[in-house]
Amino acid sequence: MSHPPDNLPHHEIIKAKRSTSQWLIMVHGLTQNKNLFNEQITEFNDNLNLLLIDLPGHGGSSKIKGPYGLSEYAHAIHQVIAHHNIVNSIFWGTHIGAGAGLLLACQKPKLLSSLILEGPVFPGRNFPLVSKLLDKISKAIATKGLTAAKEIWWQDGPWFSIMQENPIECRAADQLKLIEEFKGQPWLPEQKSTVGIASIEPQIAKLTYPILIINGEHDVPEFIGISKELYDLLPNAQQKSIEQAGGFPLWEYPKEVNSVVQKFIQSMLEKNGSALSN
């Protein structure tokens, strides 16, 4: 393994307790970091090597300079995978992490062996609800500061509504800690990516390996619609709605999501001639 370049995103490797060559890559969403997956680590590292990545502008990768966008995030994920010579890995991302993983899969279809997409964004598409909120946040940073912008993100982001309504059960305080750790660079207007993403529908339709799409029962309708569109495009996709969950099921109801993902991975590996040990 070569010496890591200076701009290699921060990441954590957790080797499986049992010997295996199978990797599970985990990537968070906007304003979060790799600790989003804390409730997944103990569930999956018995039989899978785990690679948790902090996207540029987040967590341990906060010092990586922009611009920030799905193209840059996809490149960053590929940097880490290539640095460790990981092949045929399973990718699990949420929101922008899911969108970046999907984009990477379209760019390099032989790099991954499966995708797990939670509340994915659609690469190359504009989302009016998200864009409107981000514009409000940009103005808040300029006039009131980062703390005020984070408050708007938490209070006005409908993807957090289930955490707000069920703060103990859905770990609202811990989610707020992730947001507090966010340094805000990807929110700055001058740091936004100017790289356009051409239509990738044809490439999506050619992804033949197993793909699991997850949304919460009470997720934002816009994201549920995106997931349905992806499900219709993908030739080998499954779609799962998590009861009672909202925008981040893996965080809100990890036990339920972990069970769904375990079954999906087990079934996929069995079809490929291998399986997770019990």
Q: Edge-to-edge strands of the sheet including 49-53?
A: 11-14, 49-53, 23-27, 89-94, 112-118, 211-216, 237-242
Helix, strand or coil for residue 212? strand
Bridge partners (DSSP) of residue 214 are: 118, 240
Percent of the chain, pLDDT > 70? 96
For 226-241, the pLDDT digits (tens) are: 999 999 999 999 999 9
Instruction: Check residue 272 and give its pLDDT.
Output: 77
Instruction: Check residue 169 and give its pLDDT.
Output: 98
Residue 178 has pLDDT above 50, yes or no: yes
Instruction: Check residue 49 and give its pLDDT.
Output: 97
Q: Which amino acid, residue 169?
A: E
Between 128 and 275, where is the model more confident? Answer: 128
Instruction: Check residue 123 and give its pLDDT.
Output: 95
Cα dist. 246→102, 149, 252 in Å? 21, 22, 8
Instruction: Check residue 209 and give its pLDDT.
Output: 96
Helix, strand or coil for residue 111? coil
DSSP E strands, 6-66: 11-14, 23-27, 49-53
Ordered structural domains, the chain, with CATH: 11-126+193-271 (3.40.50.1820)
Residue 19 has pLDDT above 70, yes or no: yes
Residue 44 tokens read as 């999956």
Phi, psi torsion values for 214, nearest 5 degrees:
-120, 135
Give the separation between CA 188 and CA 29, rounded to whole angstroms.
Answer: 17
Instruction: Check residue 273 and give its pLDDT.
Output: 72
Instruction: Check residue 198 and give its pLDDT.
Output: 87
Residue 30 has pLDDT above 50, yes or no: yes
Dihedral Cα 48, 83, 4, 195, nearest 10 deg: -110
Phi, psi torsion values for 222, nearest 5 degrees:
-60, -40
Long-range contacts of 145-150 (CB under 8 A, 24+ apart): 146/183, 146/184, 149/184, 149/187, 150/31, 150/179, 150/180, 150/182, 150/184
- Nearest 5 degrees, angle CA 9-CA 227-CA 128? 80
pLDDT band, residue 71 (cuts 50/70/90):
very high
For 253-274, the pLDDT digits (tens) are: 999 999 999 999 999 998 877 6
Instruction: Check residue 195 and give its pLDDT.
Output: 77
Q: What integer best gives the mean pLDDT of the chain? A: 94
Is the pTM higher than 0.85? The answer reads yes
The neighbour count for residue 265, using CB atoms within 10 Å, is 23
Instruction: Check residue 274 and give its pLDDT.
Output: 67
Residue 39 has pLDDT above 50, yes or no: yes
pLDDT band, residue 1 (cuts 50/70/90):
very low
- Nearest 5 degrees, angle CA 193-CA 195-CA 155? 35
Instruction: Check residue 79 and give its pLDDT.
Output: 98
237-242 and 211-216: which strand pairing? parallel
For 81-137, the pLDDT digits (tens) are: 999 999 999 999 999 999 999 999 999 999 999 999 999 999 999 899 999 999 999
